Structure 1
């Protein structure tokens, strides 16, 4: 799995202030409006993919690519709203953005046993332990983001260690979501490291 958002050498202070004041209007509303409808189809495909994996042991390639592109679109929006990238996020499932890379290797075969285990006990062995850790990590990330915002405002730089910590939080959550969506059999690590 790859989840990379590249740190820029310098950031625009004007765009930082614009995103802070109006980002939810000019980035959030149009993207999340469209993502809402695109995600409905994603949920339907996730439901159907469960049955496909259960009976065939494979995740249909087109459905897998759709879900992966949905992750990519969400990541582009998060990268902009989180002040990780200055570029306006591209619209669409097939769009790309410099500095934002999300990829999951397509699995030729998936375990039916793990699929049933995730369905019946995923809440206990995935969501509770990872969720608790991610709640505390998310609180720490919010504090770090607040401090990084001020550093960006005054220096036009995002401190590297703060950047890596915050991207690590997003990366960890991405791994948990990919596992929960039956896109991989690899149990997510308790880490935000690549």
Structure 2
């Protein structure tokens, strides 16, 4: 299986708190506020990068480093929080790589994006967006003018519900559900990296579950 150039890695804590997930939303408020501004910056930086690639064929190094940093920060926060609940170690406030943090994201260096890619990358990503939206989004379905079926929670939310109930009452995190949540997060970040032109390799339509990328041996040191 070909290894994708966006590496989304994780290492789950051996022992997770039974109750900390109840207050992580509160603890994460500072990160959420900062990330809201960082993601606004990412949108602007990506638009500027699109124009730079389109007209010069180059992706400015500073914009690339910023966008990669925002994705790294987002993955650390999501892994601590409600993407995976995989660690109780509070995420650091930094765009830089933190090698010893349990959640890591890296992108292999590649050739500059082709000049035409900014014109169609968003279009190519639509099928991924629809599939990921079906996994992570709640919604309503209209069958006719009078009949509406509501789906108040997403598939991911249901999985997390099973996880937190298991943690609360047994202190255990079901391995299969953990692998699934990490796989969904990995798919999300691959698409995000493609949309921001950090990689020009089209994301695969597959759910690579588990802590390590396919074809990579586990790190004995974590």
TM-score, structure 1 length as denominator?
0.86
Aligned length: 184
Q: Provide the rounded CA distance (Å) in 2 between the counterparts of 1:113 and 1:47.
A: 14
Is this contact kept in 1: 2:52–2:59, CA < 8 A?
A: yes
Q: Provide the rounded CA distance (Å) in 2 between the counterparts of 1:110 and 1:69.
A: 19
- 1:18-57 matches, within 5 Å, as 20=22, 22-27=23-28, 29-57=29-57
Q: Provide the rounded CA distance (Å) in 2 between the counterparts of 1:114 and 1:41.
A: 21
Residue 108 (structure 2) pairs with residue 105 (structure 1): yes
Identify the residue that residue 181 of structure 2 maps to in structure 1: 166
Is this contact kept in 2: 1:13–1:152, CA < 8 A?
A: yes
Q: 1:135 to 1:38 in 2, by over 3 A?
A: closer
Residue 90 (structure 2) pairs with residue 92 (structure 1): no
- 1:34-183 matches, within 5 Å, as 34-82=34-82, 83-94=85-96, 96=98, 98-118=101-121, 122-123=122-123, 125-127=124-126, 129-138=127-136, 139-183=154-198
Stretches of structure 1 lacking an aligned partner (at least 5 in a row): none
Cα displacement string for residues 58-117 of structure 1 (whole angstroms, at most 9, x for unaligned residues): 212221111111101111111111222111111121262621110111323211122222
Cα displacement string for residues 6-40 of structure 1 (whole angstroms, at most 9, x for unaligned residues): 22222111423xxx2x322221x211211222333
Stretches of structure 2 lacking an aligned partner (at least 5 in a row): 1-5, 137-153, 214-222
Task: Give runs of ≥4 in structure 1 deviating > 6 Å.
Answer: none
Q: Secondary structure at the match of 2:163?
A: helix
> How far apart are residue 186 of structure 1 and its match?
0.9
Q: Provide the rounded CA distance (Å) in 2 between the counterparts of 1:15 and 1:95.
A: 25
Q: Provide the rounded CA distance (Å) in 1 between the counterparts of 2:156 and 2:10.
A: 16
Cα displacement string for residues 139-180 of structure 1 (whole angstroms, at most 9, x for unaligned residues): 332221111111122332321111010111111111111111
Stretch of structure 1 that moved more, 180-189 or 89-98 = 89-98
Identify the residue that residue 205 of structure 2 maps to in structure 1: 190
Q: Secondary structure at the match of 2:34?
A: helix
Is this contact kept in 1: 2:9–2:105, CA < 8 A?
A: yes
Is this contact kept in 2: 1:31–1:91, CA < 8 A?
A: yes
Stretch of structure 1 that moved more, 164-173 or 138-147 = 138-147
Greater helix proportion: 1
Q: Of the two, which has the highest radius of gyration?
A: 2
